[in-house]
């Protein structure tokens, strides 16, 4: 099985599964994903604009 | 500049010996029975790098947009590649990598997944999120 880079937007992380050291050219490393703010779900008003 | 040669949404992909095996290439709609929901799709990527770009770290990033084109998520990581021992002088190095993308959807419509290499937008992949529907059958009557 070859490497698969998994982008999990729900958990906000990137992982590599099925690491295959024989793979050439190799994907040498995937550094932990930098966390970027995920806005509120589409259609939801931002917290400061919630209806009172 | 390192670039994406192709990015193919598919049901399954693996790399073996520098070649890709791809099943269900071109999938462009995902069915979600209720909202909010979660979907997953594989994207087979071939990234090509020039000789002087090998051995250096590069950034790969994906940005997810909802049907209104509002950014809903962004993830990035880093990679580097070395030349294959049999690489011919002057040839670019290709790196095939299956990527899996799991994300939440809150509405039906077309989500877009943008692929960026070193901050440069390379491809945008549309994915239509739909409610499951009975597939209309062709009229079999004579």
Residues B100-128 have pLDDT tens digits of 999 999 999 999 999 999 999 999 999 99
| CA–CA dist B35, B119 (Å, integer) | 32
Q: How far is A52 from chain B (nearest CA, A)?
A: 23
Q: ipTM of the assembly? A: 0.82
Domains and CATH numbers, chain B: 3-130 (2.60.40.2550)
Q: What pLDDT does B26 receive?
A: 93
pLDDT over threshold 50, residue B140? yes
Q: Which of B72, B68, B56 is nearest to B118 (CA)?
A: B56
* Least confident among A38-52, B72-86, B124-138: A38-52
pLDDT tens readout for residues B64-91? 999 999 999 999 888 888 877 777 888 8
Look at A5 and B71 and tell me if their CB atoms are within 8 Å.
Answer: no
Q: Which of B70, B80, B84 sits opposite A39 (nearest CB)?
A: B70
Burial bucket for residue A14 (CB in 10 Å: 0-12, 13-18, 19+): buried
């Amino acid at each position: 099985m070859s490497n698969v880079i998994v982008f999990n937007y729900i958990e906000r992380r990137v992982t590599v599964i099925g690491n295959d050291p024989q793979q050439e050219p190799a994907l040498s490393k995937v550094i932990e994903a930098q966390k970027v703010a995920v806005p509120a779900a589409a259609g939801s008003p931002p917290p400061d604009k919630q209806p009172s | 500049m390192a670039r994406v040669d192709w990015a193919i949404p598919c049901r399954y992909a693996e790399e073996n010996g520098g070649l890709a095996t791809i099943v269900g290439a071109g999938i462009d709609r995902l069915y979600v029975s209720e909202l909010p929901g979660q979907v997953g799709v594989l994207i087979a990527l071939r990234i090509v790098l020039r000789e002087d770009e090998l051995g250096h770290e590069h950034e790969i990033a994906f940005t997810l947009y909802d049907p209104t084109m509002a950014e809903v998520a962004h993830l990035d990581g880093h990679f580097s590649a070395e030349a294959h021992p049999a690489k011919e002088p002057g040839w670019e190095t290709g790196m095939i990598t299956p990527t899996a993308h799991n994300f939440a959807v809150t509405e039906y419509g077309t989500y877009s997944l943008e692929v960026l290499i070193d901050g440069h937008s390379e491809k945008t992949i549309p994915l239509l999120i739909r409610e499951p529907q009975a597939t209309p059958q062709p009229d079999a009557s004579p």
